[in-house]
Amino acid sequence: MSKQKYKPMMADYRELIDFAEKSYGNLKAYKYKKDHTAKEPEYIEKTYAQTVKDIKGFATALLSFKEKPSKVVIIGENRYEWVVSYFGVSTADIIAAPMDKLLPENEIKSLLSRCEAEAIVFEEKNLEIMKNIKKELTTLKTLICMDKVDDNEVEYFWDLVEKGKNLRDNGDDSYDKVTIDTSKTNILLFTSGTTDKSKIVMLSQANICSNIHAYQTHFLMKTSDTLLSILPIHHTFESSITILYGFYSGVTVAFCDGLRYIAQNMKEYQVSILVAVPLLLETMYKKINKGIADKKKTKLVNKLIQISNCLLKMHIDIRRLLFKSIIDNFGGKLRIILYGAAKLDKETIIGFNNFGIDSIQGYGLTETSPVVVAESEKRHCPGSAGYALDNLEVKISNPDFNGIGEVLVKGPSVFLGYYKDEEKTKEAFEGEFFKTGDYGYLNEEGFLFITGRKKDIIVLRNGKNVYPEELELLVNRIPYVKESMVFSREKDKTDTVLMAKIVYDKEQMEEKYPEKDEKYYKDVIWNDIKEINKNLENFKHIKKIIITDEPMSKTTTQKVKRYEELKKIK
């Protein structure tokens, strides 16, 4: 990959959108359905030139307010109006604060109060909630709805866009005079957790732009690529990779109609790059294998994999030809899967690669804008999180005899601190290095392996450490297991028992074992756990299981909320 292919560094979002308009003006930036529930839906397409014009229109309207807001919260589904709002707010030198659309009213209110937002952009379904909050919060001045509503208290998003465009057409140059101090806070992000425990991360546009620029050394997107926006758009992983890096690269982003429509959307939009989390990929891979098994073609597929892997050693790649029928299930164009937020089972990674779909793992945090390490199209190490981006330094603090310690990061994408919390900000650093709170180790080639969250490590009475995520990966390989959580229980004063809560696939169990009950299912699962135990050191053995078909509580990136689940168990 030659350096000449790399795009120039952007100082801020204003440079980013101007670069995109100049480079990709007439190309499609976004594609979506006006109403996905319609029998014959109308498809809306927006070029880069149109999108930038809408962004500048919305920004100009905000600047024309009698009292320009200093902070604007954006909350809603993955949609075009969200993107225009985010870019419009931040390029007007107003702090943008994306918020989780799934938060209940009391948490929205609490976070709005804590960050002192003066305006909020939201959807019609949240109208009454926002009106109630506005009555109670004196700081919240302006409500902007992405949808048309008959309410004098609310500004309509598209009316503001048109107002801004008209102002610009009539000589208003307020937007053009704005300059961004790239070293100051321009983005506020709320970490997951309960309201009183969640932290508000302060990022600058320089933080985020430096991270986006560094992705190029690991994976390149093409203007011919189409991405499907699936993950929650407020989350830094989705907004950074799909929205920001996508805009930087000139791709088309299609908005997903909902989780149940992923396969359909991938086909109709001819998706070539998928940004996902492990739970989604593991579910997809299990369905592929089940389909192969149902057709009694497992032996044939395994034989074809052996043949294609032998040919790969001779630099002959026929994977996408051999497994065309599998790739066609995803629309026929899928070439890269980018994933992060948690560990993915090694078998799943190798499985997708065997079919000719390149899977690239990444790891990062909200505080690092977000990517710290990633695999690349040239360098893979299945099971690792990848190697450091060119502009970041990664090291292990106080490694044990296995080389495992806390992962520390230093570089231009590391955050400015936690909003109005100097104490937590100080605690988060060891000198110039940010303490991630994750434990891991680096191999000789510089690939980082994450063993688990520092707070989740189970320390046994004999001093040995157990990393729950490693055991959960093994349990999740069982075909009818949807998800699992490994935890400990003190048996007595001399012992610690490892346990697992397991969510099984009820549909699969009923299909395989008709007329059997949950007690029988538990015996079946327990036999599989005993097989897993045989290949583990004694201190890692799972001694007891709890089973259910009810999904566990999860964050928006599908990580199990361990604390909530442990409270339920207790």
pLDDT at 222: 95
pLDDT at 1: 39
476-519 pLDDT per residue, tens? 989 899 999 999 886 555 567 899 999 999 999 999 999 899 99
pLDDT at 197: 66
Shared fold status for 277-454 and 457-569: no
Which residues, at least 6 apart from 544, have a Cβ–Cβ distance to it below 8 Å?
A: 489, 497, 498, 499, 500
pLDDT at 195: 40
Domain at 457-569, CATH homologous superfamily: ANL, C-terminal domain (3.30.300.30)
pLDDT (average), residues 467-471:
87
Helix %, strand %, coil % for the chain, to 5? 40, 25, 35
What are the Cα distances from residue 305, in Å, to 282, 320, 335, 498? 19, 11, 17, 37
pLDDT (average), residues 260-279:
92
212-223 pLDDT per residue, tens? 999 999 999 999
pLDDT at 453: 83
When pLDDT is cut at 50, 70 and 90, the band that residue 566 belongs to is confident
Distance CA 326, CA 156 (A): 44
Cβ burial 333-365 (10 Å sphere, 16+ → b, else e): bbbbbbbbbbbbbeebbebbbbbbbbbbbbbbb
Which residues, at least 6 apart from 367, have a Cβ–Cβ distance to it below 8 Å?
A: 201, 414, 415, 428, 434, 436
Which of 223, 219, 162, 165 lies closest to 28 in space, CA to CA? Answer: 223
Contact 174, 60 (CB under 8 A): yes
Q: Reply yes or no on whether the pLDDT at 194 is more than 60.
A: no
Q: Tokens representing 178? A: 């704005």
Distance CA 97, CA 87 (A): 11
pLDDT at 491: 56
pLDDT (average), residues 23-31:
98
Per-domain residue ranges of the chain? 9-206, 277-454, 457-569
Q: Tokens representing 352? A: 């997708």
pLDDT at 208: 98
Q: Tokens representing 174? A: 């307020």
Q: CA-based diameter of the chain, in Å?
A: 79
pLDDT (average), residues 318-336:
93
Q: Which helix (H) or strand (E) holds 80?
A: helix 80-91
Q: Of the ranges 47-61, 77-91, 447-461, 540-554, which one carries the lowest mean pLDDT score?
A: 447-461
Place of tokens 């699962």: 525
Alpha helices per DSSP H over 361-488: 422-427, 468-476
Q: Reply yes or no on whether the pLDDT at 444 is more than 80.
A: yes
Distance CA 567, CA 432 (A): 37
Place of tokens 């149940």: 260
Q: Position 533: which residue type?
A: N
409-443 pLDDT per residue, tens? 999 999 999 999 999 999 999 999 999 999 999 99
Q: Reply yes or no on whether the pLDDT at 88 is more than 80.
A: yes
Contact 91, 17 (CB under 8 A): yes
pLDDT at 539: 87
Distance CA 508, CA 524 (A): 13
Burial-class residue 95 by CB neighbours within 10 Å (0-12, 13-18, 19+): buried
Architecture label for domain 9-206: 3-Layer(aba) Sandwich (3.40)
40-83 pLDDT per residue, tens? 999 999 999 999 999 999 999 999 999 999 999 999 999 999 99
Q: Tokens representing 206? A: 């320089």
DSSP assignment of 441-467 equals EE-TT-EEEEEEEGGG-EE-TTS-EE-
Give me the chain's average pLDDT, please: 92
Burial-class residue 491 by CB neighbours within 10 Å (0-12, 13-18, 19+): exposed
366-387 pLDDT per residue, tens? 999 999 999 998 999 988 999 9
Place of tokens 């208290």: 153
pLDDT at 538: 87
Alpha helices per DSSP H over 215-323: 236-238, 246-249, 262-268, 278-294, 298-313, 319-322
Q: How many C-beta atoms surround the C-beta of residue 401 within 10 A?
A: 5
Burial-class residue 261 by CB neighbours within 10 Å (0-12, 13-18, 19+): middle
Q: According to the CATH classification, is domain 277-454 in 3.40.50.150?
A: no
Q: Which helix (H) or strand (E) holds 327?
A: helix 324-328
Of the two residues 78 and 460, the one the predictor is more confident about is 78
The residues that bridge with 99 in the sheet, in sequence order, are: 75
Of the two residues 343 and 348, the one the predictor is more confident about is 348
107-120 pLDDT per residue, tens? 999 999 999 999 99
Q: Reply yes or no on whether the pLDDT at 136 is more than 70.
A: yes
Which of 159, 115, 152 lies closest to 131 in space, CA to CA? Answer: 152
